Chain A
Amino acid sequence: AQTVTQSQPEMSVQEAETVTLSCTYDTSESDYYLFWYKQPPSRQMILVIRQEAYKQQNATENRFSVNFQKAAKSFSLKISDSQLGDAAMYFCAFMEGHSGYALNFGKGTSLLVTP
């Protein structure tokens, strides 16, 4: 079974600054997908970014980008120009390529954004 580890239970960043959230995973698969989801206090799960393991190029969505290191099994999320609305729990998730359906989530990182 795949495991997803988020080693930072809490992180803090000042508005307009940059923060990086860490995620590592353990798998013997070569084909898989990785995701970051955001969960604000409303508890709605919102997709932030998706990465396909066979693509070497790091995914980017506006102020959000990832550093995908396949050999190291690392998938960190960088948030640039942090905004107050970025405050939330962030979950890293793994999906197998073969079955390609179910998500395996990490425990999450709580991000605090200070003015």
Chain B
Amino acid sequence: DAGVIQSPRHEVTEMGQEVTLRCKPISGHNSLFWYRQTMMRGLELLIYFNNNVPIDDSGMPEDRFSAKMPNASFSTLKIQPSEPRDSAVYFCASSFGVGSEQYFGPGTRLTVT
């Protein structure tokens, strides 16, 4: 298996622009997670899906952030409009079953200037 796939690996954009991050989970996994990592706040859960349905989006910082999972093999995290404080590494992870380990993608490093 190729593991969790994320694109792009790096994204540099200007403040006010729309940013879309993409994730393909491991085939057969039924849970998908979006995390954000910053020096100040560490690793934070933004949102997670179970069987393509959003279960908990309480970690999404504000309305500028939105996430979708139209099918079992694809998810997007969109920021519109982006701000410099959104600069971080965004990870996607997937798992199967309650209590099971999560497998992480390589992350997307987002820089908003």
A91 within 8 A of B: yes
Interface residues of chain B: helix, strand, loop or mixed (majority): strand
Q: Which of A35, A91, A97, A107 is in CB contact (< 8 Å) with B101?
A: A35
Q: Identify the closest chain A residue to B98 (Cβ).
A: A100
Contact in complex: B56, A97 (CB < 8 Å): no
A15 within 8 A of B: no
Q: Which of A45, A97, A107 is in CB contact (< 8 Å) with B104?
A: A45
Query: Considering only CB atoms and an 8 Å cut-off, how many residues of chain B contact the other chain?
Result: 25
Contact in complex: B101, A47 (CB < 8 Å): yes
User: What are 15 A-B interface contacts by the 8 Å CB criterion?
Assistant: A43-B89, A44-B106, A47-B102, A95-B99, A97-B99, A100-B97, A100-B98, A100-B100, A101-B48, A101-B50, A101-B56, A101-B98, A103-B33, A103-B43, A108-B42
Chain B interfacial positions (CB closer than 8 Å to A): 31, 33, 35, 42-43, 45, 48, 50, 55-56, 89, 91, 93, 95, 97-104, 106-107, 109
